[in-house]
């Protein structure tokens, strides 16, 4: 019997701003590999991401050895998972949840791994072949002449495929001695699988089949999508293509197109008791019970997010590819069908949302949009603002010559109602790239001759500027509490009360972050960006715009925009990442299930909190098992107790 209880203190003490990642799910990182063993799916990818799931729908982030490199392949055999990847990295796990780094003794990239005849075989760059009987100690075999991308085991033999500009195959019965072959074809082979008495390999626009791994037949296959993923299960081969197409065959010769998920680019596939799982870039997660009907279980925006704003009781975010999405709580986001395709900067000005780019559009709710003619020919608009009873929109007018880059001319338009616009000539040169209004004047930031400029104007027509030569440009500006704050690269933070005289805040002396966005919310200035040494997300807060303190940010990529409202701060960035602060208060929930003869505790709670897990055989005497940092998402913790009793109770104290 297994019982899970939870006890929690309703109060959360936060000494500083703490962020939780609310989107995308299950991960923002690219997934390159997946496998199934002991009814457990495991997926791996960039930044040494490892996820695990018992159903392919609900995933937990697992404990991995580090975060810098990428896993390209995963295999299961002999009660052990093995993941391989960048620069010879190898990790193994007995349960798919807790991983240990192993010494491969090489620096070559490893792209494939499989299990057969009581042995793991890994293959990679420059014909690299490694073998291991226990997943811990690895031996390098003689190098083959061609780089290898994938390996499988079937019919008593290992078959590896690869090549560069033409297909290559290597075959071994023992993983030690290999014979190389060069099948006909024009494409590198990316994946190979065995099933129904034959090997099938895919790569580029080609499919090869073989009954013995030695003699290969190039099949006729009409597709516009290079094939990048392949697995076998439930009596059929399932392949995925760069365009998101999924194809099914029982013999590797006749294929049927089943569905298409544009932009997903599947990288690997696996089959398990719950069906098929296909993974890919930016957290792609495609699922099917039978290989015939598929669904996309990625939740979030697959694009890099560039801007976010709060207004009309909701958040509005824009992506670099000009998609728009809205949220009322900063947690659940909806991609809007309208308003996209215009630009990638959003603002809330006076009483409506605006999006600027190759045009200007406004909306009262972020869902219904109206386009506006600003009078600027071929516009590339950068920002919009309101003050002194008038709206301003600034940017460039573009002229596209027959060849070469476009010619950009400064542009500025004004409006008294936000809908009817009049261009102003001449426009300030350079025009502001971002604006804020406060203390009776517009203040903008710009760059001229690779020197940052700070501009100010009372009427929006006549501008004066001062240079700030220590940086080439600035990124964003905000006005609040009687002070302007502008941010930029190399940790630059400037503040001013009048928009004409500026002071620089003290910056970090070691690897100062590049700052991309700034706002004021809930009594604090907040700026976001990226650390300069590894481009991980960065955020800092200030009560007065002068003294700043960094905050705790999850391990995500660069943050580009920040907004706040209704007591919530929301930051957005690369790979569709959305961060929220304060963390969402979630009741501590425990569950448990049996796995490989032991117990696994399933935990969900408030991100940033800590939970003490305790065990008891009788609900009377409790022993402390472990302390867990709660991530805010589904977590699995394997109880390492050998030969656990038939009845065990778990409880968590937060």
**Residue 278 sits in the same domain as residue 322:** no
Residues 240 and 319 occupy one common structural domain:
no
Question: What is the average pLDDT score of the chain?
Answer: 90
Q: Please determine, for residue 567, whether its predicted confidence score (pLDDT) is greater than 70.
A: yes
* Angle 126-130-134 from CA coordinates, rounded to 5°: 165
Query: Over the Cα atoms of the chain, what is R_g?
Result: 28
Q: Is the pLDDT of residue 57 over 90?
A: no
pLDDT bracket for residue 331 (50, 70, 90): confident
- Which of 277, 298, 319 terminates a domain? The answer is 298
Q: What are phi and psi of 60, to 5 degrees?
A: -120, 145
* Chain Cα centroid distance, residue 279: 13
pLDDT band (50, 70, 90) for residue 78 = very high
Q: Look at residue 209 and give its three-state secondary structure.
A: strand
Query: Does residue 605 lie in a domain region?
Result: yes
Domain boundary among 581, 598, 620: 581
> What are 306's two structure tokens?
């560039």
How many H-runs (helices) and E-runs (strands) does the chain carry? 0, 63
For residue 250, the domain's CATH number is 2.40.10
- Type and span of the H or E element at 504: strand 503-504
Q: How far apart are CA 560 and CA 548, in angstroms?
A: 18
CB 175 within 8 A of CB 214: no
Min mean pLDDT across 17-21, 66-70, 542-546 is at 66-70
Please state which of the ranges 5-14, 240-249, 279-288, 393-402 shows the lowest mean pLDDT.
5-14
CA-based torsion, 532, 538, 543, 549: positive or negative: negative
Q: Is residue 510 over pLDDT 70?
A: no
User: Which pLDDT score, from 0 to 100, does residue 164 have?
Assistant: 86
Q: Are residues 339 and 468 in the same domain?
A: yes
Position 306 confidence tier, pLDDT thresholds 50, 70, 90: very high
Residues 291 and 266 in one domain: yes
**Given pLDDT bands bounded at 50, 70 and 90, which one contains residue 4?**
very low
pLDDT at 627: 79
**By residue range, what is the domain housing residue 274?**
220-298
If you average pLDDT over residues 639-647, what whole number do you get?
71
Does 468 lie in the same domain as 539?
yes
pLDDT band (50, 70, 90) for residue 15? very low
The DSSP symbol for 583 reads P
**Rounded to two decimals, what is the model's pTM?**
0.79
- Of the candidates 536, 540, 448, the one whose C-alpha atom is nearest the C-alpha of residue 487 is 540
- Asked if 269 and 312 sit in the same domain, the reply is no
What is the structure's pLDDT at 584?
A: 60
Q: How far is the C-alpha of 141 from the C-alpha of 139, rounded, in Å? A: 7
Cα(641)–Cα(632) distance, integer angstroms: 26
Residue 2 has pLDDT above 70, yes or no: no
Q: Which two tokens stand for residue 171?
A: 């075959």
> Which of helix, strand or coil describes residue 48?
helix
Higher pLDDT, 16 or 592: 592
The pLDDT score that the predictor gives to residue 211 is: 97
119-165 tens-digit pLDDT: 999 999 999 999 999 999 999 987 799 999 999 999 999 999 999 88
- Max distance between CA atoms of the chain, in angstroms, equals 83
401 and 481 housed in the same domain: yes
CA distances from 289 to 37, 229, 295, 560, 650 (A): 17, 17, 10, 38, 33
Query: Residue 132 falls within a domain, yes or no?
Result: no
Evaluate whether residue 534 is within a structural domain: yes
Domain assignment of residue 142, yes or no = no
- What pLDDT is stored for residue 3 in this prediction? 40
The CATH number given to whatever domain includes residue 339 is: 2.130.10.10
Q: Are residues 237 and 312 in the same domain?
A: no
Residue 232 confidence (pLDDT) above 70: yes
Using the structure block, give the residue that is written with the tokens 């109206």. 370
Does residue 291 share a domain with residue 316? no
Composition of the chain by helix, strand, coil, percent to 5? 0, 55, 45
Asked whether residue 228 is domain-assigned, the answer is yes
Q: Which of 247-261, 300-314, 464-478, 636-650 has the lowest mean pLDDT?
A: 636-650
Q: By the 8 A CB rule, do 426 and 409 touch?
A: no
Confidence tier at 508 by pLDDT (50, 70, 90)? low
Average pLDDT over every residue of 340-348: 89
Residue 181 lies in a domain: no
pLDDT in tens, 99-117: 999 999 999 999 999 999 9
For 397-423, what is the mean pLDDT?
95
For residue 294, CA distances in Å to 276, 289, 345, 419, 433 come to 9, 8, 34, 44, 44
Q: Which residue has the higher pLDDT, 620 or 189?
A: 189
Per the domain annotation, does 70 fall within a domain?
no
Whether the predicted pLDDT of 500 surpasses 90 = yes
Residues 615 and 572 in one domain: no
Omega before 413 cis (within 30°)? Answer: no
Q: How far apart are CA 399 and CA 395, in angstroms?
A: 13
- Section 380-407 average pLDDT: 96
Average pLDDT over residues 440-465: 96
Sequence-distant (≥ 6) Cβ neighbours of residue 222 within 8 angstroms? none
Report the pLDDT value the prediction gives residue 141, as an integer from 0 to 100: 85
* Residue 112, both tokens: 């494939």
In this structure, the answer to whether residues 419 and 434 fall within a common structural domain is yes
pLDDT of 301 reads 84
The 10 Å Cβ neighbour count of residue 465 is 20
Last residue of a domain, one of 581, 602, 621: 581
Number of compact structural domains in the chain = 3
pLDDT band of 555, cuts 50, 70, 90:
confident
Percentage of the chain lying above the pLDDT 70 cut: 93
Q: Which residues contact 596 (CB under 8 A, 6 or more apart)?
A: 38, 79, 94, 95
Residue 597 has pLDDT above 70, yes or no: no
Q: What mean pLDDT comes out for the span 510-520?
A: 89
SS3 of 134, please? coil
Tell me if 338 is assigned to some domain.
Answer: yes
Alpha helix (H) residue ranges in 193-318:
none
Which of the residue ranges 179-188, 369-378, 578-587 would you say has the lowest mean pLDDT? 578-587
What's the CA gap between 525 and 604, in Å, rounded?
31
Q: Taking 60 as the threshold, does the pLDDT of residue 389 lie above it?
A: yes
What value does the mean pLDDT take over residues 558-587?
Answer: 89
- What is the rounded CA–CA span in Å between residue 427 and residue 196? 71
- Give yes or no for residue 329 having a pLDDT over 60: yes
Residue 595 belongs to what H/E stretch?
Answer: strand 589-595
Whether 421 and 393 map to the same domain: the answer is yes
């Amino acid at each position: 019997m297994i019982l899970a209880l939870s006890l929690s203190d309703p109060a959360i003490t936060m000494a500083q701003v703490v962020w939780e990642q609310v989107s995308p799910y299950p991960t923002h990182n690219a997934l390159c590999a997946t496998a199934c063993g002991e009814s457990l799916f495991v997926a791996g990818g960039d930044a040494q991401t490892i996820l695990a799931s018992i159903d392919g729908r609900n995933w937990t982030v697992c404990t991995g050895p580090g975060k810098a490199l990428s896993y390209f392949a995963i295999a299961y055999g002999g009660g052990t998972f093995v993941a391989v990847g960048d620069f010879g990295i190898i990790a193994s796990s007995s349960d798919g949840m807790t991983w240990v780094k192993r010494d491969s003794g090489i620096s070559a990239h490893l792209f494939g791994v499989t299990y057969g005849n009581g042995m793991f075989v890994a293959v990679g760059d420059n014909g690299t072949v490694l073998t291991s009987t226990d997943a811990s100690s690895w031996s390098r075999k003689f190098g083959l002449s061609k780089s290898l991308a994938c390996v499988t085991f079937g019919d008593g033999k290992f078959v590896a495929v690869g090549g560069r500009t033409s297909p290559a195959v290597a075959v071994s019965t023992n993983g030690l001695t290999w014979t190389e072959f060069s099948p006909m074809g024009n494409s590198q082979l990316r994946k190979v699988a065995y099933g129904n008495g034959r090997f099938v390999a895919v790569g580029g626009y080609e499919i090869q089949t073989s009954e013995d791994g030695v003699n290969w037949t190039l099949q006729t296959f009409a597709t516009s999508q290079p094939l990048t993923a392949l697995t076998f299960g439930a009596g059929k081969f399932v392949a995925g293509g760069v365009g998101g197409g999924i194809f099914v065959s029982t013999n590797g010769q006749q294929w049927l197109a089943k569905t298409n998920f544009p932009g997903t680019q599947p990288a690997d596939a696996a089959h398990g008791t719950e069906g098929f799982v296909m993974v890919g870039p930016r957290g792609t997660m495609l699922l099917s019970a039978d290989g015939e009907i598929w669904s996309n279980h990625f939740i979030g925006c697959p694009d890099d997010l560039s801007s976010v704003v709060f207004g009309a009781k909701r958040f509005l975010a824009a992506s670099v590819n000009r998609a728009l999405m809205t949220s009322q709580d900063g947690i659940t986001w909806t991609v809007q069908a309208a308003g996209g395709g215009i630009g990638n900067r959003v603002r809330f000005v006076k009483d409506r949302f605006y999006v600027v780019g190759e045009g200007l559009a406004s909306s009262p709710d972020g869902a219904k949009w109206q386009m506006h003619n600003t009078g600027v020919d071929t516009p590339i608009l950068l920002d919009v603002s309101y003050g002194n009873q008038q709206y301003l929109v600034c940017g460039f007018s573009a002229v596209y010559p027959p060849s070469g880059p476009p010619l950009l001319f400064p542009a500025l338009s004004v409006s008294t109602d936000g809908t009817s616009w009049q261009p102003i000539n001449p426009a300030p040169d350079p025009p502001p790239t971002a604006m804020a209004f406060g203390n009776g004047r517009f203040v903008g930031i710009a760059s001229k001759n690779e020197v940052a400029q700070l501009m100010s104007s009372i009427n929006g027509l006549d501008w004066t500027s001062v240079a700030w030569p220590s940086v080439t440009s600035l990124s964003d500006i905000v006005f609040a509490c009687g002070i302007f704050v502008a941010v930029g690269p190399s940790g630059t933070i400037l503040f001013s009360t009048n928009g004409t005289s500026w002071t620089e805040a003290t910056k970090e002396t070691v690897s100062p972050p590049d700052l991309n966005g700034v706002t004021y919310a809930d009594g604090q200035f907040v700026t976001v960006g990226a650390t300069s040494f590894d481009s991980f997300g960065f955020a800092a807060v200030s009560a007065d715009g002068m003294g700043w303190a960094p905050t705790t940010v999850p391990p995500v990529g660069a943050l580009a925009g920040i907004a706040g409202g209704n007591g919530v701060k929301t930051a957005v960035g690369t790979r569709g990442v959305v961060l929220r602060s304060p963390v969402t208060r979630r009741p501590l929930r425990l569950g448990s299930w049996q796995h490989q003869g032991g117990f696994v505790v399933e935990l969900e709670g408030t991100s940033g909190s800590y939970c003490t897990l305790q065990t008891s055989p009788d609900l009377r005497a409790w022993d402390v098992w472990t302390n867990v940092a709660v991530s805010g998402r589904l977590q699995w913790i394997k109880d390492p107790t050998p030969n656990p009793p038939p009845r065990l109770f778990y409880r968590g104290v937060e």
